[in-house]
Structure 1
């Protein structure tokens, strides 16, 4: 990529990260991104693939009226299957169809009627998180096909789009109509720190205080108050450019009780020092054993039931507690009898139901 292209990419990255609201981020990045990939228009389709498929189009700039009819055209979308078959790989219309075949597609014919005419299309599937994907579509209104170079540029920029969509989605979920920090502060299931690039802490939620006290000893803390391991990761991220940061914005520690994670998100700001949000979360390895079940079991059975909820085998449990396989098997049968269940699957289902009643 030459210096001119590098400059355009830098402008696109700055625009993409200028806000944590997806429509505004796409509008901000539209001009430099279209210049970078040499396209006339773009659209992003967010699709939930589970529990049922649905989609929503985001179209920065001038509307593309054909996308208002996408629900009736989806079965005629010749790019859909190829991009789902090869996520993270750009697919061009010219790779799939001859010009004559393309002009006979309903997508092309309907675009001519609605204007603008979509003379060429390049698309790519971006996995965002389990159950959620984004389809990025780029269009040319002239008969000049997308090239392998355009595909390479898109592939290079795509991880930044994925990261931006994830960040926007996470924050949009937390906002729920309130200001970001106010909403985060009130939630009991969220923990966060807001830190300036000088490592001066601007805000810490009550839940973060409890979580960090649980995770780290005083000897683990830097003089700034941040845990040393998190400060070192943040310090490294600040020194990196956008490309280098990809894949390094999450710290994960696998503890006996569960996975401890910290996501680092650079917050947009109009002026002043850049701030970072450190989003903390602890995910247990297994479903907790409900108090109602514990009350019906002996201490030894509670231990074994807890391991069963981690999906451990009888052999693994026996090795962990220093008992024979036959002893554990007997305990498992007695646990089933005391709880009135007939299988491990039933134990998991009943524990999940009691932890979060339907």
Structure 2
């Protein structure tokens, strides 16, 4: 069997393992050996953030020293891996793309710390999975010997990033609920879910009353197919099912902008989730969320910023640039730039994009 054939077989088995359960511990146990075979490394770690607790993570690890986990939150600010991947979510990075030069890596506090723990960090490959809903996850591979991760290694992990993201999201969204009883019944005890579950995938199994209300609000009767679902959503579901539950980033979500008077300023987002098989049936869940178009200033930020800075942030979150803000308030551009730098410093972000991303994650984490 050729190397390409072996890789395709491993990737297929790994995808199956990653969708085998809604319990992340079980999923990771099933996938661990396959991940190491596909991306040979000495250490591996998966961490998943806890919504609302900055720097606090749940860890699923392989061969890593216990002090690494116990002290991570205290040392996180020195982790150049974390600092690099948060700037480029869903993009796999090698250490050569995280630091400007090999000597920078070797002189870093993180490099020295890992060596103190008996876990030499010579080469790293990592990706930040943007799970949404105020949650992110990091998957990192470490090599203790001087054998750099190749572009082929990077491409293999990049190809798996979508299914990894979906796995973490599904386990976080539904794992705790499903553990309390029969999976389908448990979903609908969870009032925030507001989803439709379909089988194979074109027979509707059940829906919440809230879902029916949202369909009536956002879709004209002429847009609904014979099963009572909008044809556009059925078409998207068919495309995802044909791909085995995976696809390009963004394919598992669909959005509509509110144009009618009663929907102005809102968007409807539908998230498609491929669930583990039940009694031989392929299951999907469709979750509906109404989102305000402008991201509000997080309440926690209002306590850190001056009233003028809060006002400035509110316009940044609406997509205004510095020049437009300066013209609107009749201020000098230099003054607005100074306000922005003060805001970045107070909030601990390194720029406008990071500020908007963090506000968006914080806001989505508060949605019911």
Bigger CA radius of gyration: 1
CA distance in 2, matches of 1:223, 1:173: 34
Q: CA deviation at 1:15?
A: 0.9
Q: CA deviation at 1:60?
A: 4.3
Equivalent residue, structure 2, for 1:231: 234
5+ unaligned residues in a row in structure 1: which ranges? 288-310, 312-358
TM superposition score normalised by structure 1? 0.67
- Among 104, 107, 112, the alignment partner of 1:106 is 112
- Among 252, 255, 270, the alignment partner of 1:252 is 255
Q: Are residue 84 (structure 1) and residue 89 (structure 2) matched?
A: no
Q: CA deviation at 1:106?
A: 2.7
Q: CA RMSD in A?
A: 3.5
**Kindly tell me: are residues 131 and 261 of structure 1, through their superposed partners in 2, closer, same or farther at Cα, counting changes over 3 Å?**
closer
CA distance in 2, matches of 1:80, 1:67: 14
Equivalent residue, structure 1, for 2:188: 185
5+ unaligned residues in a row in structure 2: which ranges? 296-317, 319-368
Equivalent residue, structure 2, for 1:97: 102
Equivalent residue, structure 2, for 1:18: 20
Equivalent residue, structure 1, for 2:70: 68
Number of matched pairs: 285
CA distance in 1, matches of 2:151, 2:201: 43
Task: Report if the CA contact (8 A) 2:43-2:64 is conserved.
Answer: no
Q: CA deviation at 1:265?
A: 1.0
CA distance in 2, matches of 1:274, 1:245: 20
TM superposition score normalised by structure 2? 0.65
Deviations along 1:314-340, whole A, 9 cap, x unmatched?
xxxxxxxxxxxxxxxxxxxxxxxxxxx
Q: CA deviation at 1:63?
A: 5.2
- Among 205, 208, 226, the alignment partner of 2:208 is 205
**Kindly tell me: are residues 2 and 40 of structure 1, through their superposed partners in 2, closer, same or farther at Cα, counting changes over 3 Å?**
same
Q: CA deviation at 1:235?
A: 1.4
Deviations along 1:280-306, whole A, 9 cap, x unmatched?
22335589xxxxxxxxxxxxxxxxxxx
CA distance in 2, matches of 1:187, 1:82: 36
Deviations along 1:8-62, whole A, 9 cap, x unmatched?
11111111111223222222221112211122331112346x8662221422454
Secondary structure (helix, strand or coil) at the match of 1:35 reads: helix
**Kindly tell me: are residues 263 and 202 of structure 1, through their superposed partners in 2, closer, same or farther at Cα, counting changes over 3 Å?**
same
